[in-house]
Amino acid sequence: MSIRFFEPPQDKIIDRFQQLESEFTQNRLIFNEWLQKAAVDLGASRRLFDVLHNDENSGVLLIHIIDNSTVKLNALIIYPQFRNKGIATRAMKMAVTDLLPDVSWYFTQCRSNDIRALRLEERVGFHRIGLLRHLRESADNILFAYNNKNEFSLETSRKLAIKLYSRPDQQLLIGDGTNA
């Protein structure tokens, strides 16, 4: 069983994304936010990859490259017919080890009540570093960090998270629940 990533040509990303948006209405918030940002910055910093399992398109990975050492994994969505086969775990592990091997820090988040996503992040080796409260949506996300160089530091990951996630429409709670 093989997993690999395919990146559609840059000029086809918006079309591909709009196709995905219509197929997956439950992920509309993720898609809309990513698409709006991609429309402004369609350069190399925001990328979409199709997840191929045995050469069959089984999902999509959306990432945001912050700089040479830091990446946000915005979404990994495995299509329903491919779920519960270990594809998400293998795809996420490959994303943090093989897709961009020079990157040191990966950050991701998931809803605090999404047990499957929480287990996935931990299975892959991500560390919980805080809580991200989305004020407009009245929703809480658990924030995770992963270091690809086996140099994980809770203090360093939290400092990076403060830079990455400080916005007026969300509240970042680090560690013991104090405001960042």
pLDDT in tens, 109-126: 988 888 999 999 999 999
pLDDT in tens, 146-170: 999 889 999 999 999 988 888 777 7
**pLDDT at site 179:** 46
Q: What's the predicted TM-score (pTM) here?
A: 0.80
Domains and CATH numbers, the chain: 1-61+74-100 (3.40.630.30), 104-180 (no CATH)
pLDDT in tens, 3-59: 566 676 666 666 666 666 555 555 555 555 555 555 445 455 777 788 888 888 888
Task: Report whether 88 contacts 120 (CB < 8 A).
Answer: yes
Tell me the C-alpha distance between 26 and 54, whole Å.
26
Q: What is the three-class DSSP state of 137?
A: coil
pLDDT in tens, 130-152: 998 877 777 788 999 999 988 99
**To 5 degrees, how large is the angle CA 7–CA 129–CA 147?**
50
